[in-house]
Amino acid sequence: MLAIAVLASILGGVASTPLPSSGSPLATDLNPYPTKPRITFKEDGTFKLTVFSDLHFGENPWDSWGPEHDQSSVKLMNTILGDEKPDYAVINGDLITGENTFKENATTLIDQIVAPFINANVPFSTTQGNHDNQPNITHEEEILREQSLTELSYTRMAPPGVGGDHGPGNYWVPVYRNAYDQSPVLILWFFDSRGGWKTSTEFVPDWVDASVAGWIQSETQSMESAWGPASQRGAVAFVHIPPDIAKPLQDNLDSTKSPGDNEDVLGDGSTQNPNDSTFWDALNLNVPNLHAVISGHDHGNNWCARDTNKNVVFCFNKHSGYGGYTRGWAHGVRNLLFTSPDPTAGVKTWIREEDGTVKASITLDSNYV
Ligand SMILES: *[C@@H]1O[C@H](CO)[C@@H](O)[C@H](O)[C@H]1NC(C)=O
Ligand SMILES: *[C@@H]1O[C@H](CO)[C@@H](O)[C@H](O)[C@H]1NC(C)=O
Ligand SMILES: *[C@@H]1O[C@H](CO)[C@@H](O)[C@H](O)[C@H]1NC(C)=O
């Protein structure tokens, strides 16, 4: 009991409150997934994450090429999940090309999208993109459908009022060293950059809503009181539309430090805009050891670069889906390999194409500039 009290005071938690034998949740019970298995590092101390993005299911359902593309995307997901055997997977937005869907059955495309994760038994979660908000589909509808299909989905929605209209997909997933640990060593953050159309004439703002800033602050405060200082945890963030700071990064790109395709020039609509600064400032202020912020949206780019202003690395995904615009680029994923549960240890990342080709390998650590 003394040891527990000492530990609690070190962690800055509820030092003077005795631990109840059961019932009443303490701040130390901060686990958004009480009924699901904990996501953990492997016994060897590594954790591998595979990121799909821009699948764009459901294009031209009245034609044959759209459904054929979807079958090719399913095959790609099966192949890559089978080969890579990740500990966790992410789909980073634009799951569906909502402009082409029918009101009555749009979400059934989600069934096809989650099937490969169920077959491979890989836990996963998603962000939604601008094509996932259209008159016949919304982010919320996609998330509810996904949650109803499989326990492997860790996707959640922020409380009402957080994320703005049409932007519910803000949440975090804890990753533990061992399944019995009280405190995670890594937090996966997911943000909703909204975008798309509410009706045929009314668009949805395409940046993370300013209300997410206060939510980040209160969530990180809860984490500190439950688990101790934020410096004890690593982090990585996913958001479909790149933050506004991606634009100036492209202007100064060095192809040795930032290997990978750079074929989409970032203009209006390619990134969020300066309205994302409330969110961006709160993320960088409250989340230390942030290894990278990862986005899709621009299918022709898959480089990483460090933003020296906030001292944070931004990375593009790799366009995975056979749907969505392309100029003949190979399809693939971005992998992240956490080499140690140490929250400051370097993270390896690379692009894996469908045929197994590996490209643009780098290590994100303090030497990465
Ligand atoms: C939306 O769904 C309705 C009902 O299926 C359909 O008539 C319409 O063409 C779809 N697309 C758009 C953009 O409204
Ligand atoms: C959705 O319904 C439309 C007609 O209402 C049909 O043409 C289409 O094949 C259906 N799509 C799916 C994915 O079930
Ligand atoms: C930023 O948000 C304001 C208010 O929502 C809007 O009027 C303005 O156009 C936005 N800026 C950009 C660049 O979209």
Q: Is the pLDDT of residue 2 over 80?
A: no
Q: Is the pLDDT at 305 greater than 50, yes or no?
A: yes
Q: Is residue 273 lining ligand 3, measured as CB closer than 6 Å?
A: yes
Fill in the amino acid letter for 366: S
Among all bound ligands, the one having the nearest atom to the CA of 197 is 1
Ligand 1 nearest atom to the CA of residue 99, by list position: 13
| Ranges 12-26, 72-86, 172-186: which has the least confidence | 12-26
Ligand nearest to the CA of 99: 1
Integer-rounded Cα Rg, in Å, for the chain is 20
Element (DSSP H or E) covering residue 333: strand 332-338
> Is the pLDDT at 14 greater than 90, yes or no?
no
pLDDT above 80 (res 156): yes
- Three-class SS state of 3: helix
Mean pLDDT score, 259-274: 97
**Count of H helices and E strands in the chain?**
7, 13
Higher-pLDDT residue of 23 and 363 is 363
Each residue's pLDDT tens digit, 29-43: 799 999 999 999 999
pLDDT band of 369, cuts 50, 70, 90: confident
Q: Is the pLDDT of residue 3 over 90?
A: no
Residue nearest to atom 8 of ligand 1 (CA): 102
Q: What is the CATH number of domain 2-364?
A: 3.60.21.10
The answer to whether residue 9 scores a pLDDT higher than 60 is no
Q: Does pLDDT of 5 surpass 90?
A: no
- Give CA–CA dist 366/43, Å, rounded: 25
277 lines ligand 3 (CB under 6 A): no
pLDDT digits 0-9 by tens, 186-226: 999 999 999 999 999 999 999 999 999 999 999 999 999 99
Residue nearest to atom 12 of ligand 3 (CA): 273
Question: Could you tell me which of 307, 349, 357 has the C-alpha nearest to residue 329?
Answer: 357
- Report how far residue 149's alpha carbon sits from residue 216's, in angstroms, rounded to the nearest whole number: 28
For residue 117 the two structure tokens come to 């994760």
Residue 186 makes CB contacts below 8 A (sequence gap 6+) with 41, 47, 174, 175, 233, 234, 235, 236, 338, 341, 343
Which listed ligand is nearest to 97 at the C-alpha? 1
pLDDT of residue 291: 98
pLDDT band at 22 (very low <50, low <70, confident <90, very high): very low
User: How far, in Å, from the CA of 35 to the mean position of ligand 3?
Assistant: 41
pLDDT at 29: 77
Alpha carbon of 99 to ligand 2 centroid (Å): 14
Residues enclosing ligand 1, CB less than 6 A?
A: 99, 102-104, 135-136
For 268-319, the three-class secondary structure string (H helix, E strand, C coil) is CCCCCCHHHHHHHHHHHHHCCCEEEEEECCCCCECCEEEECCCCEEEEECCC
Least-confidence region, from 16-20, 103-107, 313-317, 345-349? 16-20
Task: Say if residues 298 and 266 touch (Cβ distance below 8 Å).
Answer: yes
Instruction: Tell me what pLDDT residue 279 has.
Output: 98
Instruction: Name the residue with the closest Cα to ligand 3, atom 10.
Output: 275
Give the pLDDT band of residue 25 (cuts 50, 70, 90): very low
pTM over 0.85: yes
Please provide residue 283's backbone torsions phi and psi, each rounded to the nearest 5 degrees.
-60, -50
CA 286, CA 229: separation in Å to the nearest integer?
11
Q: Which residue has the higher pLDDT, 188 or 18?
A: 188
Portion of the chain with pLDDT greater than 70, in percent:
92
Task: Give the ligand 3 atom nearest the CA of 274.
Answer: 13
Dig out the tokens for 273 from the structure: 């805009």
Q: Which ligand is nearest to the CA of 274?
A: 3
Shortest-distance Cα residue to atom 5 of ligand 1: 102
Least confident interval from 18-22, 200-204, 251-255: 18-22
Give the strand pairing for 332-338 and 358-364: unpaired
Alpha helix ranges (H) inside 85-204: 108-120, 139-149
Q: Is the pLDDT of residue 11 over 60?
A: no
Return the pLDDT at 199: 95
Domain ranges of the chain: 2-364
Q: Is the CB of 325 under 6 A from ligand 2?
A: no
